Amino acid sequence: MELQELKDKLSAEKHIYDFTEEGGDVIIRNKKHGVKVRCSAEAVAKHDWATIKGQTVGGRNVNHITRVTGYFTIVEGWNKGKLGELKDRYHSQIA
């Protein structure tokens, strides 16, 4: 993958990624997972987008699913009110 191609992909997904350049390297921050990855130009050239993207999730590319609304749904798309309701719910422990 070319360095400019990587920058274009990251720019297209600004809601998930921030990136900066430092000393010829690209520092990618995944906002969703709080993971920072430093990629050298050589590393970018060796790998494709799927591989680089996979490194930025830090093994945490998981969707949170719950039944707060009465049916199973992914929490990621919820508004602040519904997320607050989820946070305030009682969580029991099962032994």
Question: Could you tell me if 41 and 68 lie in one domain?
Answer: no
Prediction pTM value: 0.62
Same-domain check for residues 41 and 67: no
Structural domain count, the chain: 2
CA quadruple 5, 8, 10, 11: dihedral, nearest 10: 170
Shared domain for 15 and 41, answered yes or no, is yes
Q: Which domain holds residue 33?
A: 3-55
Looking at the fold, whether 39 and 8 belong to one and the same domain comes out as yes
pLDDT at 23: 92
Q: Domain check: are 32 and 71 in the same one?
A: no
In tens, the pLDDT along 42-72 reads 999 999 998 998 898 876 766 777 777 777 8
Computed over every residue of the chain, the mean pLDDT equals: 87
